[in-house]
Amino acid sequence: MSAEPFVLQDALDLDARDELAHFSARFELADDLVYLDGNSLGALPRATPARIVEVVRAEWGDDLISSWNKHGWISLPMRVGAKLARLLGAYPDEVIAADSTTVNLFKIVSAAVVLRPGRTIIVSEQRNFGTDLYVVEGLARLLGGKHELRLVNGAAGVAAALAEAGPRVAALVLTHVCYRTGRMLDMAGLTRLAHQQGALAVWDLAHSAGAVPVDLNAAGADFAVGCGYKFLNGGPGAPAFLFAARRHLEAPESARCALQGWLGHARPFAFETAYEAAPGVRRFQVGTPPILSLAALEVGVDIALEAPMEAVRAKSLALGELLIRLIGERCPADHGLQLVSPRDTAQRGSQLCFSHPEAYGIVQALIARRVVGDFRAPNILRLGLTPLYTRFRHMWAAAEALAAVLRDDELQRPEYRTRAAVT
């Protein structure tokens, strides 16, 4: 790129050359909207409403209970799981779509701890997402209080904690891409360090699946979970996914699901008195799957599978680099925004986060200008980059809106200072 300042036409040229550009027509998004929150709630695929109507009217309405067989409802969690596996570097029989990320975390962390009897330390990051820490803490309480959640920060902190706790570590529980900074951890390297101590590695892929290259088996990961409603565009509260490596689905390392439900039984319709876990990852299914939500998720996953991940990653990084450049070129010199995402693209997921003392107000003022990002307490402005529908011209518009907001004193308006229930 030349030393000339970047102009709007440059962004339009990049959009014209973008090999993923055609994907944006697959989503319902107003033309004037700059939606940079697809990492929190992905956009609605245009095909989803018709698919939901079909499932409701033709499958539920007309075929009623026969749909469990006739329309394959009973195998939908495994079918969607097998598709997700292709985005995750997993085998089709290692992934199931089910429940929420939080519930799945409980299932896999408890399974990991049971696989490492006598070991009582679980290592995680202090700045991990709340739910991950709450689940481990609640599990430790349930197990009688002899387990300890040891919290550190950064790859160096994790390495030191693992080395220090050695044979007492049961599991390492980490989020691959940090929700608050966009920092991406080295999954293979940290998994190796956990394994060197005989511990299991559990990964939360909430901000990774569909957004960055993930290769769970190449990294040697033991268990993983992730969200369906973020980069996978499955809709609000979409089912999450759960990954268990094949070696943990076979004797002698056979993992158990603590939530033993009938649909995780080897033969659910035999209605046996004694529980026997299903042979594969299906043992991590608990109860009746939410068919409407799974049908919506499948539409989102199908679109994600059409896009080559190398192109998605390259565009995500190009969008991010452009936004950083435009903020530097177009915002007032004293803008006060500090990039908290790693400057090194190799360590960055698909979002840019900036700290600013007025971050909450900035987010509200941007939304009023049709640029939707989000705020994360206490002072983070978070802009998600979703290469399937984020355009280069959106980076231009976002930088222009930011520049205007930071130049004017609209941040002082009372409506930008009162926090809503969901931020």
Ligand X SMILES: *Cc1c(COP(=O)(O)O)cnc(C)c1O
Binding site for ligand X (CB under 6 A): 100-102, 129, 131-132, 175, 179, 204, 206-207, 227, 240
Query: Is 83 known to be catalytic?
Result: no
Q: Which is nearer to ligand X, 128 or 197 (CB)?
A: 128
Distance, in Å, from the CA atom of 98 to the CA atom of 108, rounded to the nearest integer, reads: 13
Q: Which is nearer to ligand X, 100 or 217 (CB)?
A: 100
Query: Hey, which bits of 199-264 come out as E strands?
Result: 200-204, 223-226, 240-244
Q: Cβ 145 to ligand X, closest distance in Å?
A: 25
The answer to whether 389 is annotated as binding is: no
Q: Which is nearer to ligand X, 59 or 222 (CB)?
A: 222
Cβ neighbours of residue 392 closer than 8 Å, sequence gap 6 or more: 11, 12, 14, 15, 18, 318, 319, 322
The answer to whether 102 is annotated as binding is: yes
Distance, in Å, from the CA atom of 390 to the CA atom of 316, rounded to the nearest integer, reads: 9
Q: Among 382, 35, 362, which Cα is nearest to 180's?
A: 382
The answer to whether 396 is annotated as binding is: no
Q: Which is nearer to ligand X, 175 or 197 (CB)?
A: 175
Q: Which residue among the candidates 204, 231, 241, 360 is catalytic per the annotation?
A: 204
Query: Is 229 known to be catalytic?
Result: yes
Contact 120, 146 (CB under 8 A): yes
Q: Cβ 274 to ligand X, closest distance in Å?
A: 31
The answer to whether 204 is annotated as binding is: yes
Instruction: Tell me phi and psi for residue 10, to 5 degrees.
Output: -65, -40
Q: Cβ 127 to ligand X, closest distance in Å?
A: 11
Chain centroid to Cα 307, Å, comes to: 17
Q: Cβ 224 to ligand X, closest distance in Å?
A: 11
Q: Cβ–Cβ contacts within 10 Å for residue 342, how many?
A: 16
Query: Is 17 known to be catalytic?
Result: no
Q: Cβ–Cβ contacts within 10 Å for residue 176, how many?
A: 26
Q: Which residue among the candidates 129, 179, 243, 375 is catalytic per the annotation?
A: 129
Q: If 0-12 CB within 10 Å is exposed, 13-18 middle and 19+ buried, where does residue 367 land?
A: middle
Element (DSSP H or E) covering residue 172? strand 169-175
Residue 171 is given by DSSP the state: E
Q: Which residue among the candidates 150, 230, 348, 376 is catalytic per the annotation?
A: 230
The answer to whether 288 is annotated as binding is: yes
Q: Cβ 205 to ligand X, closest distance in Å?
A: 8
Q: Cβ 197 to ligand X, closest distance in Å?
A: 24
Q: If 0-12 CB within 10 Å is exposed, 13-18 middle and 19+ buried, where does residue 78 land?
A: buried
Query: Is 382 known to be catalytic?
Result: yes
Contact 331, 402 (CB under 8 A): yes
Instruction: Please count the residues of the chain.
Output: 423
Residues annotated within a binding site for pyridoxal 5'-phosphate: 102, 204, 207, 229, 262, 288
**Residues assigned a catalytic role:** 129, 204, 229-230, 382
